[in-house]
Amino acid sequence: MLDTGNENKGMPLDEALFKDARVNLSAVERRCASYSARRSVKKAHQAAWLLRAVGLIDLTTLAGDDTVNRVKRLCGKAKIALDPTIQAQLGLTKPVQTAAVCVYPTMVETAATAVAGTGIGVASVATGFPAGLIPLPLKLEEIRYAVASGATEIDIVITRSLVINQDWAGLYDEISQMKEACGKAHLKTILGTGDIASLRNVYRASMVAMMAGADFIKTSTGKETVNAILPVGLTMVRAIREYNALTGAQVGFKPAGGISTAKDALVWMSMMREELGTDYLQPHLFRFGASSLLTDIERQLEHHATGRYSAAKHHAIS
């Protein structure tokens, strides 16, 4: 299991800290536009950033037709994330790994066995993913099942109607019980930001999740119409910064859904560096939820090493 730094023990719900918060959409959009405009890492520096990005990926398969063999292949890719030829061309002496693999609860045991002894985390979605519309006792039982099967991280989904109805006490109670059910596993709380209507709600839900003990807050399931977008990300990381000022706890951040290119990854990493500092570009504080991102990063690193691009189909499953 990865070290999470300062564990978030949560705090009592205090609505006064977020209830009257406002988010200036125009200012958020201007700030987000600046990240890509000022992104300046090139050549060897860009390659170094992309190698770091590989180690921040939760390599994911969450399809209805997932099989044991597919999960085993995914885990193999997580353990040797770059083609050995590319690694040699870059002068790397040991395999580059992803931070974790992310699967459904029924695939956790397969994944845990496949990555045993590597330090790669096993993340399991739970709580009726992706909609979360099952009774709370079943959500808690699903968490316990995944943990008992070997999950070191649990990606839960909240009941979005609690946010829409401004039921902050209900949301706090739900997440608190999920945190307890996780035991020693890390709780990553998916807000489903594409479903909760406004950046103001995103900020409020982020604060409630952290107060309830979330170790990470995550944008999306990847199944919403709108998934990880920079304005939502900025709103969430500003909430993380303010929560850290209140409690001293470092809560992680995971954008997920729609991040598929190396360029996308660099922009998100630039945002994290500028808003929270270089220390946050570590797997215990920042993750990409992705299934195809690794392919493009591998292509870009091959181009850096050889000057040539290969087609995505020439790279192993990612």
Residue 265's pLDDT is 96
**Rounded distance between C-alpha atoms, residue 146 and residue 302, angstroms:** 37
Please check whether residue 181 is in contact with residue 140, taking contact to mean a CB–CB distance below 8 angstroms.
yes
Residue 97's pLDDT is 97
**Rounded distance between C-alpha atoms, residue 140 and residue 192, angstroms:** 19
Q: List the domain boundaries for the chain.
A: 15-314
Beta bridge partners of 105: none
| Contacts with 143 (C-beta within 8 Å, 6 or more apart), sequence order | 126, 127, 154, 156, 178, 181, 182
Q: What burial class does residue 247 get, using C-beta atoms within 10 Å of its C-beta: 0-12 exposed, 13-18 middle, 19+ buried? A: middle
Residue 316's pLDDT is 64
Residue 308's pLDDT is 81
**Rounded distance between C-alpha atoms, residue 267 and residue 36, angstroms:** 6
Supply the DSSP string of 29-59, one letter for each residue: HHHHHHHHHT----HHHHHHHHHHHHTTEEE
| Contacts with 36 (C-beta within 8 Å, 6 or more apart), sequence order | 267, 270
* Residue (of 236, 297, 298, 226) closest to 258 by Cα position: 226
Tokens of 74: 């995914």
Supply the DSSP string of 155-193, one letter for each residue: EEE--HHHHHTT-HHHHHHHHHHHHHHHTTSEEEEE--G
The catalytic site residues sit at 155, 218, 254
Q: What is the pLDDT along the chain (318 residues), one digit of tens a residue?
A: 445 445 799 999 999 999 999 999 999 999 999 987 766 677 888 999 999 999 999 999 999 999 999 999 999 999 999 999 999 999 999 999 999 999 999 999 999 999 999 999 999 999 999 999 999 999 999 999 999 999 999 999 999 999 999 999 999 999 999 999 999 999 999 999 999 989 999 999 999 999 999 999 999 999 998 999 999 999 999 999 999 999 999 999 999 999 999 999 999 999 999 999 999 999 999 999 988 999 999 999 999 988 887 776 666 665
Task: Return the CATH class of domain 15-314.
Answer: alpha beta
At 247, which amino acid appears? T
